Amino acid sequence: MARSLLASLGDDLRHALATGAERTSLDPPGGAPWLALWAWSCLVAGLTLLLACGYHGGFARINAWASAHPPWVWQWLTVLGDERVPFALSLFIARSRPRVFWALVLGALVATAYSRGLKPLFDLPRPPAVLGPDALNVIGPALRRVSFPSGHSVTAGLFFGVLVYYARGAAPRALLVSLALLAGLSRVAVGVHWPVDVAFGLLGGVLAAWAGGRLAARWQGVAIDPSVHLAFVTLACFFTLTLTYSDGGYSLARPLLATLGWGALAYAALVYAVRPLATSLSRPRD
């Protein structure tokens, strides 16, 4: 009985992944041009700030402007760049859009190499290590080291960049780009990154999103391999579980993170186990 149910679950997942893959184009129209324009914009913005205003340029103005808005707004926006949040959100699309999920996985590897490689290489001080407490507004942990690039911005650029790559229509893509920009801006608002960090963080994330999409198209068969798929879904569930009890230092975002964590885990349990098992058990036996 148990072996029969496991076989049924495997067949159901295999069919779901094959069907889901057919819904997603390998080379979505407009996807790559959108990412190229976004990446160039980030590069120009970052270089302009760096050359015209210096590495710390633009921080004081943005941080002061942000202090006039409720702190919870910036904490909610900044957790969009928490590496665990894309894992949780990916659980809502992993089964129905396996190619998008696979692109996120591959892009995450590139983004991690970019962020974790550059941070220790430059090891630049963050605003709390440079400015006095009266010169900035800090919301959440007052981080001091490895400022460049902004890891949260890399994550936001990757996650929303992959969605931009596969989205259809200008309006959804513009909305996704706006969310990524707000997540990046929030890192200046909470007082832990310079605008240059954000610009180059988003640049790296967007480039990683493009690489994820292209690699997913090259290795398209892996996206529908049930074993590989379940391995990364399990990993996503592990990181998602941590959202239910850890807010990453942003206490005002705790209800949002906990709700997202439990909701994503419940949805994963529903589509990967509960619903397929119910369907299998409801079938008449010979």
Tokens 């926006």 sit on residue:
77
Both tokens of 90, joined, read: 């990916």
**Residue 284 vs residue 212, higher pLDDT:** 212
Q: What is the pLDDT of residue 7?
A: 67
Q: Determine the Cα–Cα distance for residues 129 and 147; give it in Å rounded to an integer.
A: 10
Q: What is the pLDDT of residue 10?
A: 73
Tokens 């909305």 sit on residue:
175
Contact status, residue 143 vs residue 130, Cβ threshold 8 Å: no
pLDDT > 80? residue 267 = yes
Q: What is the pLDDT of residue 278?
A: 82
User: Which residues of the chain form beta strands (DSSP E)?
Assistant: none
Percent helix, strand and coil across the chain, each rounded to 5? 75, 0, 25
Q: Determine the Cα–Cα distance for residues 176 and 182; give it in Å rounded to an integer.
A: 10
Q: Determine the Cα–Cα distance for residues 118 and 159; give it in Å rounded to an integer.
A: 19
Q: Helix crossing, 151-166 with 170-189: angle to 10°?
A: 180
Q: What is the pLDDT of residue 5?
A: 61
pLDDT > 90? residue 279 = no
- Per-residue confidence band for 284, with pLDDT thresholds at 50, 70 and 90: low
Cis amide prior to 276 (ω within 30 degrees): no
pLDDT, average across residues 144-151: 96
pTM of this prediction?
Answer: 0.95
Burial of 280 (0-12, 13-18, 19+ CB in 10 A): middle
Mean pLDDT of the chain: 94
CA-based radius of gyration for the chain = 20
